[in-house]
Structures are given as C-alpha cells and as structure tokens.
Amino acid sequence: MGRIPLRISGTVTRPTKLDLGDYLPYLANRVGNIIADHFGAHALAPHGLSIAMWRVMAVLAANGSQRQIDLADLTSIDSSTLSRMVTRLVRMRLVTRTRSAKSNREVAVELSPKGKALVAELIPIARDYEAIAIAGLSREELDVLKRCLRQIYANMKTRVAPDSL
Amino acid sequence: MGRIPLRISGTVTRPTKLDLGDYLPYLANRVGNIIADHFGAHALAPHGLSIAMWRVMAVLAANGSQRQIDLADLTSIDSSTLSRMVTRLVRMRLVTRTRSAKSNREVAVELSPKGKALVAELIPIARDYEAIAIAGLSREELDVLKRCLRQIYANMKTRVAPDSL
DNA sequence: TTGCATCAGTTGTAAATGCAATAATTAGGT
DNA sequence: ACCTAATTATTGCATTTACAACTGATGCAA
C-alpha cells in the first residue's frame, strides 16, 4: 500500500495538510448528512421520527418483514439500539414485532398498516429531496456517480469488518 | 417540484417502495460512513481519537487557528459538544485553547506541536484509505464523482439551513 | 453614557448511543 | 441424546449527544 513520501533535497517531507474539499470520504459524508438533515428536519420531525427510524422503515418497506439482526445489518444501527428503537416504533404503532414462527428466539419486525401509510406518504418527499440534490447533473453523470458509490462501498466491504485486523 | 403520481385505470397510485440501493442519499451516507468507520477503528482508536475529533484536527491542520464557532460550522458539530471535545483535546495536549487577542469572549483553538505531529502521521493513512476506497475507478470517473458531490452539496446548502422554513 | 440586542462559549439535563454481560433458544458434532 | 458452541434479542451502565438556559463580553443606537 505504497504511500510514497516525496523527497526534496535529501529530506523526506510529508504533506501536513489534507484538502478536505478534495477528500472523498469527507465529501461523501458531508453530502449524505446534509440531505438527511434537511429531510429529517422538514419531513421526519413533524412525525416524531429520527433519520435512523426512517431508514428502518424504508428497509422494511423495500424488503418486507425482517429480523432485528438483519435490520441492524442493513441500516448499520447497533442491535441494542435497534431493539429499543423497535420498541418505540411499536409504541407509535408504526411496526409490529412478533416472535418468528420458525425460531422462537428470532423476532419478525414488520410495517403496520399505519406504518405503510406513513412510508407511502414520505417516499415521494424523499424523492423530492433527491431531485433537489441532483439538480443540474446530467443523466450520465448521475449514472457514473451512483455506480462509483456502489463500487466504493463494495471495495470497503470486502476489506473485512472495521474491527478485524 | 413535480412529483407525478402515476394514474392507472383511474386510480392514483404512489410507489410504496424505495430501492435504497439506487437512492443517492443512502448511497452517499453509506459510503461516507464505511470509510470513516474503517479509518476510525484502525487508525484513530489506537490514539484515543473519535472521528469527530479527527475532523476537528484535520480542519485545524488545513485552515489554521479557528474559533470554536467556526470549527463547529466547518465540522457540523454542535457548539456545546465541540466545547467539551476541545476540553478533551486540550487534556490530551493535541490542541491549545487561548483567549483571542482582539475579543475577550472568543477563543482561538490551535494544533499543538504534538497535535501537528499526529496529524502528519495520520494524513498518509487517511490517503491510503481513500486509495483503497477508489480502487478500480478511472481518473475520469473520480473527477466526475467529486465534482458531482461538490455540486450536490452546493445545491443543498443554498436550500437554506435545515431548520429554517 | 446607558440600555438593549447580539454573540461566543459553557454548563445543566434528559435522551440516545454503544459496549459488555446476560438470557433464551437453536445448531452442530461425536 | 448430550454437551458445547453459536445465534438472537434484551438489559445494565457509562459515555456521548443535543437542546436550552445561562454567563460574560461586545456592538450599537439614541
């Protein structure tokens, strides 16, 4: 993994600045957060939902009934946090939590009718925010952008979990 | 902001699923977080630093001495959180906090020599992680990617603060 | 100058988070 | 079948976080 120090007049020098405006992880994080913050403040907060809760509901809407551990994996939320979050969502009558049929230690989390209705209401708004975000980008640029992001995620994912090594 | 409902045989139907794998805010967030997590676990944790702390130090390295309120703005960290964080960084002898010369209510946060040394040590590692992330992307794709991310951020930024409106 | 608004930073407090430990169940090997 | 290991979810607890209230300092208008 060759970081090559530049050698100037016999002395090894390393750059001591990182131009954050050109640093990909920073750019990606910033973009992901600013969109989420706007959507959260305008669309989610009125319903008492956090961004994390929204992600859970979106995953449930897209993939159907899930075990908590799968939800945790798909949303990158710690399973203990998720457990308490599902409790809250159940209290809000947005999801149901039932013991799985085939395995008594598993739990099946599912959108309730009320949850489905709310997701259906929020999805177009989420799309609106995406549209605002990508304004001015061409179809081709957008394709490249998404493909690259998927590729990068795959690159990091195969690089094993962040805690191993 | 035209979300166009599709009208099928007289009934207005709205899509009730969001394909997260094709949804830009999700993709961006996921990418930003997975890189940060890897870097945090491998490079930062051994030094007792969180990702938020690293961002503060990177900003200080790039932009020099800053007031806390500016740091808060540049890093998107709440000013109260930042206040306590700077206290920790001072205790670790990585930054200094001195009363600003021209205004007795302001504070000037600056990297200490030890902080500078640590940043200089970490920057090449940060670059390594960026390199791992973008493996397989062409120069052109990378340019498009970064340009698009900058554009998107600008789009959202002009859209006023997330709490106004 | 005086009074008031604004600004930078800190602190109080309740809620949320993540790690570790635990309970409860299932899977696998011999 | 039996014992052990692995899996899933929950809870205890210390840390972290964000919002609000507050302190102190500065700016500004009359």
D25: residue with closest CA to C1': B105
pLDDT in tens, A46-94: 999 999 999 999 999 999 999 999 999 999 999 999 999 999 999 999 9
pLDDT in tens, B43-98: 999 999 999 999 999 999 999 999 999 999 999 999 999 999 999 999 999 999 99
pLDDT in tens, A84-132: 999 999 999 999 999 988 889 999 999 999 999 999 999 999 999 999 9
Chain-chain contact of B162 with A119 (C-beta, under 8 angstroms): no
CA distances from B118 to B33, B46, B48, B49, B58 (A): 22, 12, 12, 11, 10
For residue A41, pLDDT over 80 is answered with: yes
Q: For B149, how many CA atoms within 13 A lie in the half-sphere containing its CB?
A: 28
The pTM (predicted TM-score) of the whole model is 0.85
* Percent share of chain B, pLDDT over 90: 70
Pairs from B91-96 (Cβ < 8 Å, separation ≥ 24)? B92/B48, B94/B57, B94/B118, B95/B56, B95/B57, B95/B60
Residue B134 DSSP symbol: T
Residue A115: name the closest of A158, A57, A70, A32 by CA.
A57
Instruction: List the single best residue of B23, B35, B51 to mutate versus A (max A Cβ within 10 A).
Output: B35
Note the pLDDT of residue B11: 57
Chain centroid offset of residue B21 CA: 22
* Percent share of chain B, pLDDT over 70: 87
Question: Of A50-59, A60-69, B4-13, B109-118, which range is least confident?
Answer: B4-13
Give A157's contacts in chain B (Cβ within 8 Å): 34
Q: Count of CB atoms within 10 A of residue A16's CB?
A: 14
pLDDT in tens, A13-38: 557 778 888 899 989 988 998 899 99
Distance CA B6, CA B9 (A): 10
Note the pLDDT of residue B103: 87
